[in-house]
Structure 1
Amino acid sequence: MTKSVAIVTGASQGIGRAAAVRLAKDFSSIVLVARNRDKLMETAAKVKELGAEPLIVDLDLAEAASARIVVERTLAAFGRVDALLNIAGAVPQIDLFEMTDKQWDDGMALKLHGARRLTIEAWQALKAAGGAVVLTSGNSAIFPKAPYAAVGTINAAIVALAKAFADRGIADGVQVNSVLPGPVMTGRRRSYLEHWAPLHQTTVEEAMEQFPKDVGIARYGEPEEIAELLAFLVSPAARWMTGSMLRMDGGEVKSI
């Protein structure tokens, strides 16, 4: 395995963890970024089993200084950055008329501004390596609705941000794309259903079974399936793909 380094944010759980583990097959070193050190240690163990060297950076990317620290620690440990996967960020699903300014700001601070700052901080290293960046958004970017207005708004902003980075990347030799996962069964989604089910007088199991039917898909996606797409996008096979927005949603979006 040639020396190559990938930074993965949100690596403590869900899609982020699955991506970090998948990339351990292709990269010699994986930088694991999230707030929960105990969970990052679990991811690091899986990464190490696959032969890659993990580096844990446990901090909050919503804090302005965090992006610089991630890149500094990465370069100090490995001397390069070949890929950056911006996956961190959870935005509350609260009705448009009920969300507070703080809830809006908190959602943007991590998922949007955290990704923006980290991409900028890593840019020169990515440029030197001819690297690749992925920003993870979500299907609500293209069909925002009142019950999850903040999710849709922030996800749409991420897609636009990725497109702007991709435009700069053409001259700088940095590839940038965005990915829009559909309904994926993560711990966060299960927690949401556990909250939602009693409010609608149903069980969690019934809610889990009904939701795919309501949105017109056969089943939930798995984090590992999204991880395979992310791995492709930062692989040599995808080098001519940049500025693209890719959906992986089991057919949830019905428009062309």
Structure 2
Amino acid sequence: MPKSVAIVTGASQGIGRATAIRLARDFSSVVLAARDRPNLEKTADAVKAAGAEPLVLDIDLAEVTAANSVVDRTLKAFGRIDALLNIAGAVPQIDLFEMTDAQWDGGLALKFHGARRLTMAAWPALKESKGAVVLMSGNSAQFPKAPYAAVGTINAAIVALAKAFSDRGIADGVQVNSVLPGPVMTGRRRSYLAHWAPLHNMAVEEATAKFPQDAGIARYGEPEEIAELMAFLVSPGARWMTGSTLRMDGGEVKSI
């Protein structure tokens, strides 16, 4: 396998973990960045088993200095960066009139500013390698609602940020796209359902079945399905695709 390096944030669980493992088939090295070291180590074992060399970076990307640290340590270990997949960031699902300034700032700090700073820090190396960037948003970017205002607002900002980076990338040879997943069955979603169900006098199993029905979809997505889309976007076959926003949601969004 030719020498190539991908950085995946949020790699300790869910879509980030699935993406890191999937990219191990295409990249010689995969850098795993997240806050949960024990789970990162498990991802690293899976990446190694899939054929790539992992580098574990337990780091909080909400911190201002974290982005430069990730890039510096990646370049020290491998000497290049070919792909950056910004997946980290969970935004609290709280009503518009109940969100505090601190909760807004917390959602922005990791998902938006973390991705923005890391993309900027990695840009010189990506420009040199003619690499690719993916920023993960969510389909709520296209229909923000009061009960989860921060999720939709920050996801919409991520899409706009990706579009701005892609415009710069045309001249610099860096490909940038964003992805809008729909309801995906991750550990975080299971925790949310376990919390939500008793508040609505439901069993967890009933609540789990109700969500896809209410969303008008056949089933939840799986992290591995989103990972396949992520892998395509940083593959040679997608090189002419830049500035695009790709939705993968099982048909939840009904508009054209």
- After TM superposition, the score normalised by the length of structure 1 is 1.00
**Aligned residue in 1 for 2:103:** 103
**Aligned residue in 2 for 1:28:** 28
In 1, Cα distance between the equivalents of 2:181 and 2:163? Answer: 17
Per-residue deviation at 1:169?
A: 0.1
Mapping 1:1-256, distance limit 5 Å: 1-256=1-256
Percent identity at matched positions?
Answer: 80
Tell me how large the CA RMSD over aligned residues is.
Answer: 0.3
Deviation per CA, 1:85-144: give whole Å up to 9, x if none: 000000000000001000000000000000000000000000000000000000110000
3-state SS in 1 of match to 2:163:
helix
Per-residue deviation at 1:38?
A: 0.4
1:148 is matched by which residue type in structure 2?
A: Y
1:143 is matched by which residue type in structure 2?
A: F
Per-residue deviation at 1:50?
A: 1.1
3-state SS in 1 of match to 2:159:
helix
3-state SS in 2 of match to 1:202:
coil
3-state SS in 2 of match to 1:71:
helix
In 1, Cα distance between the equivalents of 2:102 and 2:223? Answer: 29
1:131 is matched by which residue type in structure 2?
A: G
Which aligned runs of 4 or more in structure 1 are off by greater than 4 angstroms?
none
Instruction: Could you tell me which runs of 5 or more consecutive residues in structure 2 were left unpaired when the two chains were aligned.
Output: none
Deviation per CA, 1:43-101: give whole Å up to 9, x if none: 00000001100000101000000000000000000000000000000000000000100
2:252 is matched by which residue type in structure 1?
A: E
1:217 is matched by which residue type in structure 2?
A: I
In 1, Cα distance between the equivalents of 2:94 and 2:190? Answer: 17
Per-residue deviation at 1:174?
A: 0.1
Instruction: Could you tell me which runs of 5 or more consecutive residues in structure 1 were left unpaired when the two chains were aligned.
Output: none
- After TM superposition, the score normalised by the length of structure 2 is 1.00
Matched pairs, number:
256
